[in-house]
């Protein structure tokens, strides 16, 4: 079941994945080439800025890859009216886990492409002594971001039925209420702000996306 689902996920996503993997591989190389060779950036500050551009670009590619795979997967079932998936002898939860897990595996490809491209790119340049390359952690960050994006889009698409819509509505309302409370109730503000900081910075759950995306840093 798992192997076959993985095969099928691969088959219907391979065109997109090939594109994203190649893009993620080429991006660091291209950006560094443009910056160093074409524009002649070589100061520490300039290099860190370029590293940041690579980070943000590859981050975007990863997120888009995650969104695409989630969208595409649901779209294929939607196209045939979900009858096939519903007629197979698996519980709905198991079917969804199979889809999500196999998607997670194939999303490793763009991250892999990024990693290779980043390593290759940074070996081509002489980094000043205080700077180093964060190719590995950038790739890891990209993978996590792709998974997060996939999960979000996946949940949105598959949120069938009243229960799922209820959960989503609750989340939206909670965020809204918290946002309002931050403005209206000064004493609660500090608590809410620190909660928000926890969520969006390392090691909070969204830290991966809102943290610092960069290839080259101190």
Partner 1 sequence: MTHAISIDGLAYRAGRHFAIRDLHMRVPNGSVYGFLGPNGSGKTTTIRLMLGMLPPADGTITVLGHDVPRGAHHALARIGYVPERLHLYPMLTVEETMRYHASFYERWDAAEGERLRRAFDLRAEQRVGRLSKGEAGKLMMLLALSVRPELLVLDEPTDGLDPVVRRDVLAALLEYVSSHGATVLISSHLVHEQERVCDWIGVMDGGRLVAEMPMNAFRSGIKRLRIAGAPPHTTSTPFGILARRAGAGREEEWVVRDWRDDMTSWFASGDAALREVVDLDLEETFVETLRAARNAGGRAA
Give the interface with partner 1 as residue ranges (CB under 8 A).
Answer: 1, 3-5, 7-8, 11-12, 76, 79-81, 83-84, 86-91
The least CB distance from residue 58 to partner 1, in Å, is 29
To the nearest whole angstrom, how small is the minimum distance from the Cβ of residue 2 to partner 1?
A: 8
What is the Cα 73 distance to its own chain's centre?
17
Q: Among residues 76 and 108, whose Cβ is nearest to partner 1?
A: 76
**Least separation in angstroms between CB 84 and partner 1:** 4
Write down the least CB distance from residue 163 to partner 1, Å: 11
With a CB cutoff of 8 Å and minimum separation 6, the contacts of 43 are: none
- Concatenated DSSP letters for 13-62? HHHHHHHHHHHHHHHHHHHHIIIIIIS---SHHHHHHHHHHHHHHHHHHH
Residue 216: which of 27, 45, 92, 76 has the closest Cα?
Answer: 45
Nearer to partner 1, 3 or 218 (CB): 3
Nearer to partner 1, 48 or 76 (CB): 76
């Amino acid at each position: 079941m798992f192997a076959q689902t993985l095969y099928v996920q691969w088959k219907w996503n391979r065109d997109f994945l090939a594109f994203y993997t190649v893009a993620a591989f080429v991006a660091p190389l291209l950006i560094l080439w443009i910056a160093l060779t074409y524009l002649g950036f070589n100061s520490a500050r300039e290099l860190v800025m370029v590293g940041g551009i690579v980070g943000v670009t590859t981050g975007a590619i990863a997120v888009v890859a995650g969104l695409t795979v989630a969208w595409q997967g649901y779209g294929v079932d939607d196209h045939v009216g979900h009858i096939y998936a519903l007629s197979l002898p698996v519980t709905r939860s198991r079917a969804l886990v199979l889809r999500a897990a196999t998607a997670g595996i194939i999303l490793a490809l763009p991250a892999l492409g990024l990693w290779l491209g980043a390593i290759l790119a940074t070996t081509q340049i002489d980094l000043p002594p205080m700077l180093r390359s964060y190719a590995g952690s950038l790739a890891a960050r990209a993978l996590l971001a792709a998974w997060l994006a996939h999960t979000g889009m996946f949940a949105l698409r598959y949120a069938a039925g009243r229960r799922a819509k209820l959960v989503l509505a609750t989340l939206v309302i909670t965020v809204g209420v918290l946002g309002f409370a931050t403005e209206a109730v000064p004493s609660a503000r500090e608590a809410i702000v620190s909660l928000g900081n926890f969520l969006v910075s390392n090691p909070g759950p969204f830290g991966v996306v809102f943290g610092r995306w960069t290839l080259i840093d101190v």
